[in-house]
Chains A and B, each alone.
Chain A
């Protein structure tokens, strides 16, 4: 089972510069664990206290995972996952 994960510029230090990597998992949580196994350190940038970081957006087939189960969102072969840090700030 292979799922393509698009990696944003800021996290490419964990993927040797690759813009996209392949990973496996039946849920987003499992997929992130699999990413971590091959790209050590990346999990901490995505997850904080057992939940997705507030300012990291993850999409499965263009759907924001926050609306489809968060870390429990289900994945299947051929799905495409995109990770994008929020563009945000405040005075």
Chain B
């Protein structure tokens, strides 16, 4: 059998083109070439633009809430408006911002590049998921216009089946957005399985891709549950089927089980991609091989798996059986172990490294600080007896924000700065980048540390009016949130500025080793004009950089170097 013979794959070095003339940005022109593009890079930017927009909307709503909380009684808005705004803040931030944020924006852009592919496996499906996302966002907008929602982002029954606000259109928005998430997940899994370049074995896959892989599995398995749950909720409202309605023999606690069966795994959809970015940043800016590659890669999968078994820890005092609470608490702690392993591995990677505190690295260090607090307070609220006291207080609010904002958003910002030169071909201003990172770090802690204290002291969450003793801490938190908002505005300004006036970026400003840096900045329309061949791991800083520029040599090429590769 001729095919089974060992074949020789001829490879040669392909130098990177600096200051490329033809890039994905100027390959086609006009608004339609963006809105109906099938280029994963452009779709990534469409997502990036959309999530940024919703992040600012959600952030503005948060500032409104914080302003209202300056005084214990009514300050600027009434109770109903307050309830609608915290619901919208939650729903927008979760469904329109944080779930699509890292996978759909940065993942879309870099996943194919990191494996040397021209695009994702299903480019049209990729475009479809963005359009589904926009369609879902329009539904959410429609629900806001037609009376908003005041149920909290969790849509707990029976309140959500009885309130007069437009719950149905909001749940349909969530239903639709779920499909966008599922399609992205399918696309990523197929792409990672089928489109890796020669030599890119699973053990040479960048950890960012391992994290996206774990995320995609959760997206595919968990999101349908959310779809069914919100569908049942809508049927309950429209048809009165009574599955959650106690007067018809239903059970409102059942809704909570359904909801958290998706929404707990969903928090790993939100945080696991962030782990991936941190692995990239710490290795690159320590210029050192990652410590414990397999431990980090497999702990992502372990978290994804255990994450499916712990939803009941949201319900210790909900009226579920005590035995369930005990089992869920026990399992919950085991998420802490792989998470801890990751943190220790990142710290160990820095040992004897060559650490450069550029902006992305500052974000990675901020992440380690904030996420560790978020993780440790997670242990606190996983403990049964303490949870009884802390459940539904500001402690939960603070914990959630330390993990989701201190974790995911900070990692997203780190990744955004890290890959900015690759995406745009321009360098952002390093000084402003560092200053802004400092502002965001300090003001984030100002905003949310007091909320841990308020929660421990017994301040319930979702309170429009509160008892006077909490006013000082609330005001401190509000001031912090204003500075935080200012920090994001500064970032927006210097990033946009850099698009027009920033210095041109070289192809590999950080001297990283993973494949996306071996393309030009910004990349060409098809990422690579050749088929890359991977000889080393993505963190092999000890290998000469030219060995990372290898590609399959065409027969006509001269000066070929040879390497043998077994193919079957």
- Do A and B interact? no
- Tell me the B residues contacting A by CB distance below 8 Å: none
- Tell me the A residues contacting B by CB distance below 8 Å: none
